[in-house]
Amino acid sequence: MQGALEDFFRALRASDVRVSPAEAIDAHRTVAKVGFADRELFKDALCATLAKTADEVDRFDRTFDTFFTREAFMAAPPPEDGDHDPTQDLPQDGEPSELARMLMTGDASALAQAMEEAAERAQVSQIRLSTQRSRLTRKLLEEMGLAEIERIIAAARRLDDPRGQAAGERLDAARQALAKEASAYVERQHELYASESGRNLREDLLARKALNSDGGIDPVDLAMMQTLVKRMAKRLADRYSRRRNVAWTGHLDVRRTLRKSMGYGGMPFDIVFKTKKIDKPSIVAICDVSKSVAAAAQFLLTFLYSLNEVVDRMEAFAFSGRMISVNALLDEHKVETAILEVLKQIGFQQTDYGRSLEDFCEQHLDQLDRHTTVIFLGDARSNYADPRLDLLATIQKRSRALIWLNPEPESYWGQGDSVMHRYQRFCHVAKPCNTLGQLERIIEDVLRTYIPH
């Protein structure tokens, strides 16, 4: 049973239930106490040991039921003449095949056990990709003795005896039923062990998907990408969590050490080092929501608003022709819904970066101080209007850092009506950003580099 439990732990991890080595040891000890006789007690004991959240409990229940439930094995029905051994009608060459006997007699329990043992030899539980299913199904059948069955069927078809030919056809029908059972078994193993691998592969592809692709983003992909970007943000939030104290290694705090030593008669048992406090950053996001950039803006705002644990203040503005604050909309709606509301108000206007910078400086310049990081998202295509470089220079001077994320490749900057090459000299950082993977790396750089000290 130890091997089965280890496989079960792998299935749990594949279903996003975290099982540490220490928790696996606890689970083994728990099972040693409660035993396996009472299924519900066994399940509840493992769940209490391994599942830490309500979501993990749900995933544990689904995985447990899939892993420990064995559907009835659909073997061929036994022969009507119970006294007659059907394998006697088959061609015999040496020792009779045990698999042929089980198939011809319809011994479902023996076949199910044989399949479990063959699956272990074939390492079916190591499945990772859906493309492996056909190969592993064939390998499973071969481990059960398929080659011998196929040889017997071919020999029976060459017999002149009608009874032997009929037995061969019966064995062939049982072989086909066995193949279906093997395919279903491998499919269950794929569901247990490979679903996470498939999801990770899909997420890797979506992390590299262009946000401003001509065909737009498929609604199914959009939902997965929204989930992915929130998970990315959560990962960064855990890494840069809240306000935190960081020790100045080697810098002794003499005053606090002496104060601590008073309780020990002046002996400095507790050495205290100086610490520095790292404050949460303030971020102002200014997003172009014109058609070519709206998708990237949606994901940037989703990302930033998911960083509430590590961001002290988050102000968001959107523009196409004119600029508006979108904080209230983002507070009232989900980001994807808020973007639609923003488009209703200012969408479908001719993009004018200069006019938008004027709106910001006239109405919101007081939002900036030396602790504020400004993140601009846009392609800097201003339809040949005045780009108002002076206003961007003012924003740069008043803020801690000005970061510009451009969905277009750097080779496009300065071509046509793009003024990115002119804006770039006022930016502390200006980078292409057209995938979720690029977005995560850039936001992490912002948190690491521009958090005020």
pLDDT, tens digit, for every residue of 43-99? Answer: 999 999 999 888 889 888 988 888 887 666 666 666 665 556 677 778 776 566 888
Pairing outcome for strands 282-288 and 244-252 = unpaired
Average pLDDT, the chain: 81
Domain of residue 366 covers 219-239+280-450
Domain check: are 257 and 326 in the same one? no
DSSP H/E element including 315: strand 313-319
**pLDDT of the residue at 360:** 94
How much is the average pLDDT of 149-166? Answer: 86
| Residue 207, domain member (yes or no) | no
- Higher-confidence residue of 262 and 135: namely 135
Domain check: are 137 and 191 in the same one? yes
Domain check: are 252 and 385 in the same one? no
Domain check: are 290 and 252 in the same one? no
Could you tell me what percentage of the chain is helix, strand and coil, using 3-state DSSP and rounding each to the nearest 5? Answer: 60, 10, 30
How much is the average pLDDT of 388-412? Answer: 93
**pLDDT of the residue at 453:** 42
**Amino acid residing at 149:** I
Q: Which residues pair with 372 in a beta bridge?
A: 282
The yes-or-no verdict on residue 3 having pLDDT over 80 is no
**pLDDT of the residue at 141:** 92
| Residue 62, domain member (yes or no) | yes
**pLDDT of the residue at 159:** 84
**pLDDT of the residue at 202:** 66
| Residue 263, domain member (yes or no) | yes
Contacts by 423-426, CB closer than 8 A, 24 or more apart: 423/380, 423/387, 423/389, 423/392, 426/389, 426/392, 426/393, 426/395, 426/396, 426/402
Q: What does the block give as tokens for 338? A: 């808020």
**Amino acid residing at 171:** L
**Cβ-proximal residues to 417 (8 Å cutoff; 6+ apart), any chain:** 381, 382, 383, 384
**pLDDT of the residue at 387:** 93
Task: Report the percentage of the chain scoring pLDDT > 70.
Answer: 84
Q: What is the CATH number of the domain that holds 318?
A: 3.40.50.410
Buried b (16+ CB within 10 A) or exposed e, 157-181: eebeeeebeebbebbbebbebbeeb
**Amino acid residing at 226:** Q
**pLDDT of the residue at 293:** 78
The string of DSSP letters for 77-142 reads: PPPS-TTS-GGGGS---SSPPHHHHHHHHT-HHHHHHHHHHHHHHHTGGG--SGGGHHHHHHHHHH
| Residue 73, domain member (yes or no) | no
Per the structure, the count of domains in the chain is: 4
Coil vs helix vs strand at 2: helix
Domain check: are 253 and 303 in the same one? no
How much is the average pLDDT of 388-394? Answer: 95
User: pLDDT tens for residues 349-385?
Assistant: 788 899 999 999 999 999 898 888 899 988 999 889 9
Adjacency order of strands within the sheet including 313-319: 323-325, 313-319, 282-288, 372-377, 401-406, 429-432
Pairing outcome for strands 429-432 and 401-406 = parallel
| Residue 364, domain member (yes or no) | yes
CA distances from 159 to 65, 143, 168, 336 (A): 47, 27, 9, 71
**pLDDT of the residue at 292:** 66
**Cβ-proximal residues to 290 (8 Å cutoff; 6+ apart), any chain:** 320, 347, 349, 351
pTM for this entry: 0.55
| Residue 267, domain member (yes or no) | yes
Domain check: are 25 and 114 in the same one? no
| Residue 77, domain member (yes or no) | no
The string of DSSP letters for 359-377 reads: HHHHHTGGG--TTEEEEEE
**pLDDT of the residue at 16:** 75
- Higher-confidence residue of 246 and 367: namely 367
| Residue 203, domain member (yes or no) | no
Per-residue confidence band for 424, with pLDDT thresholds at 50, 70 and 90: very high
Domain check: are 383 and 328 in the same one? yes
**pLDDT of the residue at 243:** 47
**pLDDT of the residue at 449:** 72
Domain check: are 255 and 346 in the same one? no
Domain check: are 338 and 228 in the same one? yes
Domain check: are 295 and 379 in the same one? yes
- Higher-confidence residue of 184 and 451: namely 184
**pLDDT of the residue at 451:** 52
Domain check: are 302 and 438 in the same one? yes
**pLDDT of the residue at 430:** 92
Domain check: are 284 and 264 in the same one? no
- Higher-confidence residue of 227 and 148: namely 148
CA distances from 269 to 165, 218, 250, 260 (A): 91, 63, 16, 8
**pLDDT of the residue at 77:** 62
d(C-alpha 151, C-alpha 358), whole Å:
84
The yes-or-no verdict on residue 452 having pLDDT over 50 is no
**pLDDT of the residue at 198:** 54
